[in-house]
Chains A and B, each alone.
Chain A
Amino acid sequence: MRPNIIKRYKGNPILTKEDVPYPVETVHNAGVIKHRGRYIMLFRAHRRNGRSIIGLAEGPDGFHFQVRSEPFLVPSTDHEFMTYEEYGVEDPRICEIDGEYLITYSAYSRYGVRIGLALTKDFKVVKRLALITQADCRNVVIFPQKFNSLYLRLDRPHSGISPWSIWLSYSPDLIYWGNSKLAMKPLKYHWDELKIGPGATPFPTSQGWLHIYHGAFQTMSGAIYRLGVALHDPKDPAKILGVADDWILQPEDPWEVTGYVPNVVFTCGAIPEEDGTVKIYWGGADRVICVGTAQISDLVDLCLTKPRPPL
């Protein structure tokens, strides 16, 4: 049998609700970043009312994490944000830029779902900057570098007409965004045909920006969420150099196949390491957090040697 391109860590799942010192029923969909030599994880957790908050865990090696005693981000009580966070905050992504950490999260309310942007320098104090999309939009990741002095993000706006796709937009200041463009679409009768969305914060490689995304396929007994990979041009990420035709991860372990939502692997974070590997974090069945490792060059090769059309 051909080995998986992502090697699952033997100690999976690395975080479960039992590790959390406050009452939650799930931990999943975690953004992860290295900060001062330690791994910081922001994870989504369902409270027992079915609404989500964001918790923080940290550890020395990317495999072992200790959860902080209090949640990191809960629905805002500030007037500007509270209306749109009434049903919870979800799916954080972290982007390090200019020595600060940007956090994009889903703000969920009776008006739908949109994206909030928050900033922290130390993962102790966090400040909300703005709501940066309209409804409905999820899964925004910001590139950790500016292009022609503009910030760049990958978006996933929702449509009733077209399968949900990955878009890009640009901003001079993180608050005001424009020049929206379609970057990548689901492919008909393909593992990602139902919808695709940005996953982990993209990271640079010698051949371009690597972006690990999720795609879903509808079956008679529900959707299956898998992970795929795309390579973006190093200078102009609106250009896609290749999207791997194969998925790189699918639900296989028992805690990925069954849980809160069955058959889901969903990523919000990946950490490239100096030894040429990348640690990829994913939520298993919306209930636990798992990690695996891949060779960055294998992922790049898969995008370039066995591509499918991005659009």
Chain B
Amino acid sequence: MEDPRITYLRDIGEWVISYTAYSDGGPLVCLAKTKDFQSFERLRAVMPPENKDAALFPARFNGCWAMLHHPTPAMADVGRHIWISFSPDLKHWGNHQILIRARRGGWWDANNIGLSPPPLHPPEGWLILYHGIRQTVSGVIYRLGPALLDLKDPTRVLRRADEWIFSPEEVYERQGDVDDVVFPCGWTLKGDELRLYYGGADSCVALATGSLKEIIKYLRHCPPAGRFMGQL
């Protein structure tokens, strides 16, 4: 079991944990619920392999829960994108569609992107932070960039940054089991302070803080995004 994300669903008064289950058939997305972090109810596998990096929105849209996730097509050159899916009951999922595309070419987020922490909801829209995996000749670099989704319709991307806002710099981010990785699965917001909890080089957990207002302000300066951002 890997990379858990936690979302509190106010409507049902429970936390849902989305995690990667590593099976004989490859990695896949599973959900579990808890009221107290003492006992957990598994909702079983909700996506077949290969799929990772899933997190729920804390709200329903037209009566359906929504989840962002990261399928891995086996076909060459099709890219690995962030998808969104919906569910009436948390157990059965459908209406799958690509939400944010990995860019093509020399970008920091070319070819392979996945959600990092669960979506946050400042008044401007759903704030998401995703990782872009840049393949270099001497390994990969995981960096983080933000995007903003429409509050009522999260299938609409309002803004997407061209630049990363966080990347491996410290020694414990640059060297470890997997070099050059910053990988958050959770963040909290208190006032304007964002606290980002992330894995450093797959070897330790680290904390960084940021100003929500500044990130939103930065995103507001990015050009408006259409469907399938990054299509070239």
- Let me know if B146 is at the binding interface, CB within 8 A: no
The listed residue (A131, A157, A158, A169) touching B96 by CB distance below 8 A is: A131
* Chain B: interface size category: 35 or more
Q: By the criterion CB–CB under 8 Å, are B98 and A162 in contact?
A: no
Number of interface residues of A (CB under 8 A): 39
Q: Taking A175-B95, A178-B92 as contacts, is the C-beta distance between A159 and B50 under 8 angstroms?
A: yes
Q: Using known A-B contacts A111-B79, A180-B45, determine if residue A185 contacts B93 with beta carbons closer than 8 Å.
A: no
Query: For the complex, what is the distance from the CA of A31 to the CA of B67, rounded to whole Å?
Result: 33
Residues of B within 8 A of A171 (CB): 92, 94
| Chain A positions 231-289 with a Cβ under 8 Å from a chain B Cβ | none
> Do residues A110 and B93 form an inter-chain contact, with CB atoms below 8 A?
no
**Does B94 contact A158, Cβ atoms closer than 8 Å?**
no
A22-30, A133-141, A205-213, A291-299: which lies at the interface = A133-141
Flag the segment in B5-13, B19-27, B126-134, B195-203 that touches A: B19-27
Q: A68 at the A/B interface (Cβ < 8 Å)?
A: no
Name the contact of A160 in the complex, choosing from B69, B72, B97 (C-beta under 8 A): B72
Instruction: Say whether A111 contacts B25, CB under 8 Å.
Output: no
Q: Does B103 contact A (CB under 8 A)?
A: no
CB of A159 within 8 A of CB of B74, answer yes
- What residues of chain A lie closer than 8 Å to B122, measured between beta carbons? none
Are A177 and B93 closer than 8 Å at their CB atoms? yes
Given A177-B94, A180-B46: A167 and B87 interface contact (C-beta under 8 Å): no
**Interface of B toward A, CB cutoff 8 Å:** 23-28, 43-51, 69, 71-75, 78-79, 81, 83, 85-89, 91-98, 228
A-B CB contact pairs (8 Å), 22 listed? A111-B78, A111-B81, A111-B98, A133-B96, A134-B51, A135-B73, A136-B71, A136-B75, A157-B25, A157-B26, A161-B50, A167-B48, A169-B48, A172-B89, A175-B95, A176-B89, A178-B45, A178-B46, A179-B44, A180-B28, A180-B44, A182-B23
